[in-house]
């Protein structure tokens, strides 16, 4: 079968950070985590960014359902 060209090439993103989870309005923990994420992104520490994103997601799931 022809499976050679079934997918289009995805556009290349240049150092675009992943969509950050949105901080919950008025939540200090969210704001602190987002601040940490921003700092890590500025430092180019993408593994830390991913870690903080997971932490934000976990915090939101527990606190802001």
Q: Report whether 21 contacts 7 (CB < 8 A).
A: no
Least distance from Zn ion to the Cβ atom of residue 40, Å? 18
Tell me the residue nearest to Zn ion as measured from the CB: 27
* CA–CA gap between residue 57 and residue 64 (Å, rounded): 10
Pick the closer one to Zn ion by CB: 43 or 54: 54
**Count of residues near Zn ion by CB under 5 A:** 5
Residue 36: count other Cβ atoms within 10 Å of its Cβ. 16
Q: How far is CA 47 from the centre of its chain?
A: 10
Site string for Zn ion, 24-43 (x = CB under 5 A): x--x-xx-------------
Residues that bind Zn ion (CB under 5 A): 24, 27, 29-30, 63
């Amino acid at each position: 079968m022809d499976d050679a060209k079934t997918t289009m090439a995805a556009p290349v993103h240049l150092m675009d950070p992943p969509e950050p989870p949105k901080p919950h309005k008025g939540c200090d923990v969210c704001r602190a985590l987002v601040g940490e994420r921003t700092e890590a992104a500025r430092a180019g520490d993408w593994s830390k960014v991913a870690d903080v994103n997971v932490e934000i997601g976990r915090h939101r799931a527990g606190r802001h359902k």
